[in-house]
Every structure is written in C-alpha cells, then in structure tokens.
Amino acid sequence: MLRHRRWDKVRVKKACKQWACKRGVVECIKRGKLRLRLSQGLLITVPEGDVTNLSLAARSAWRHMPKRGVGRPRGSKVSDRISVTFRIDRELWEALKLAEARSLITDRTAFINAVLRDHLGTLNQNWTAKPVGRTTQVSARTLLM
C-alpha cells in the first residue's frame, strides 16, 4: 500500500478549518500526524486523514498505468508527435531558456522542430552519395547555430 512520504506535496482538507485548502510539503511523519510546511513557510501539524496527498495520487496513477503515453491516456491523439529525451549542453539549454524568457521564442517545441527541420533540409540538400560504411556526425551545437 502507498503511504505518505517526506517531501510529498499535499493540500489540507476542509475538515481542518483553520488551514483548509492550503498547500504544503510533508516535512515529518509521526504517530499518525504530519508536520507540513505551508507555501507561506509556516509549519503546522495535522492528522494524516486531513490532507489530500497530491504526490501519492501521482505515484498511484503511474503504478496502475505504467504504459500510459506521456501526459495523456493511451490512444488519445492530439497531434502526430512522439515524446523523446535527448541531452544538450547546459550552456545551450540556458541560452534557449533565456531566449524564451525574452519572448524571442513563444513555443519551445515548435522552435526546436523548425530549427531541426531547417538544418536537416540543408544537410539533405548537401548530401552526396557516399560509401555504405560512412557515417555523418553533427553536434546539437552545430544544428542550432
């Protein structure tokens, strides 16, 4: 059975009138009571049953739906995209976030798709038939410059 854990995000239920609907993080669990640090920084103690554990709900959902598509139930199709993970240099990531903060980029996914599409098109135009064993390596920095 899943239980409360330290650092879980929780919301206090209405039964605890003074702190009703406040959100916080579990700092300590002792004898059926939780010590919470509210978002305002205040420390309070409430019975375990007086909170909705948001982290527990997320853990439970992932345990029961391990093959779920990222962010959506399986089978839902909003667009023809796949979720991928890739590594880029920290310096490049910080530059991308800065451009986004300055509103130079409004949609990170669309920007990355456009840059990759543009540079892959250029690579394909410049490609000439090479022997079968040849490989081409292009760094992310080269693609995004």
Render pLDDT for 109-125 as a digit per residue (tens, 0 to 9).
888 889 999 988 888 88
Percentage of the chain exceeding pLDDT 70: 76
Please identify, among 24, 46, 64, the residue that sits at the C-terminal boundary of a domain. Answer: 64
Name the 3-class secondary structure at 68.
Answer: coil
> Is residue 75 included in any domain, yes or no?
no
Domain region containing 25:
9-64
CATH of residue 20: 2.30.30
Q: What is the pLDDT of residue 57?
A: 83
- Work out the pLDDT band at 128, boundaries 50, 70, 90: low
| Tens of pLDDT, residues 44-83 | 999 999 999 999 888 887 777 666 556 656 665 556 777 7
> Is residue 52 included in any domain, yes or no?
yes
> Is residue 39 included in any domain, yes or no?
yes
**What is the chain's percent helix, strand, coil content, to nearest 5?**
35, 20, 45
- Do residues 32 and 48 make contact, with C-beta atoms less than 8 angstroms apart? yes
Domains contained in the chain, number:
2
> Is residue 46 included in any domain, yes or no?
yes
Q: What is the pLDDT of residue 124?
A: 81
> Is residue 79 included in any domain, yes or no?
no
- Please state, in angstroms and as integers, the Cα–Cα distance from residue 24 to each residue in 33, 109, 134, following that order: 14, 31, 56
> Is residue 122 included in any domain, yes or no?
yes
